[in-house]
Amino acid sequence: MEIKVVKFGGSSLADAEQFKKVKEIIFADPARRFVVPSAPGKRCSSDTKVTDMLYSCYEMASRGENIDEAFDKIRDRYNGIISELGLDLSLETEFDAIKYAFRHKSGRDFAASRGEYLNGIILAKYLDFPFIDAASVIFFKQDGTFDADRTNTVLSVTLEKYNHAVIPGFYGSMPNDTIKTFSRGGSDITGSIVARAANATLYENWTDVSGFLMADPRIIDNPQPISYITYRELRELSYMGATVLHEDAVFPVRIMGIPINIKNTNKPDDRGTMIVSEAPENDEGPVITGIAGKKNFSIITIEKDMMNQEIGFGRRMLEAIEKNRISFEHLPSGIDTMSVVVAENALVGKREQVILDICKAVDPDHISIQDGIALVAVVGRRMVSSYGTAAKVFSAISAAGVNIRTIDQGSSELNIIVGVKNEDFETAMNAIYKAFVK
Ligand code: ASP
Q: Where in the chain is the domain with CATH 3.40.1160.10?
A: 4-276
Average pLDDT for 347-368: 94
Query: How far is 148 from 44, CA to CA, in rounded Å?
Result: 36
Q: Where in the chain is the domain with CATH 3.30.2130.10?
A: 290-436
Predicted confidence at residue 1, as pLDDT, reads 82
> pLDDT tens, 147-185?
999 999 999 999 999 999 999 999 999 999 999 999 999
Q: Is 185 in the pocket of ligand 1 (CB under 6 A)?
A: yes
**Residue 32 per-residue DSSP state:** E
Q: For 277-324, list the strands marked E by DSSP.
A: 290-303
Ligand 1 centroid to residue 260 C-alpha, Å: 18
CATH for 4-276, options being 3.50.50.60, 3.90.1150.10, 3.40.1160.10, 3.40.30.10: 3.40.1160.10
Ligand 1 centroid to residue 139 C-alpha, Å: 18
Q: Is 223 in the pocket of ligand 1 (CB under 6 A)?
A: no
CATH for 290-436, options being 3.40.50.700, 3.30.2130.10, 3.30.230.10, 3.40.50.970: 3.30.2130.10
Predicted confidence at residue 346, as pLDDT, reads 95
Judged by DSSP in three states, 98 sits in helix
Q: Check whether 240 has a pLDDT greater than 80.
A: no
Q: Is 169 in the pocket of ligand 1 (CB under 6 A)?
A: yes
Query: How far is 240 from 290, CA to CA, in rounded Å?
Result: 11
Predicted confidence at residue 272, as pLDDT, reads 95
Confidence of residue 411 (pLDDT cuts 50, 70, 90): low
Judged by DSSP in three states, 66 sits in coil
Q: Is 10 in the pocket of ligand 1 (CB under 6 A)?
A: yes
pTM score, whole prediction: 0.84
Contact 343, 329 (CB under 8 A): yes
Ligand 1 centroid to residue 198 C-alpha, Å: 22
Q: Check whether 243 has a pLDDT greater than 90.
A: no
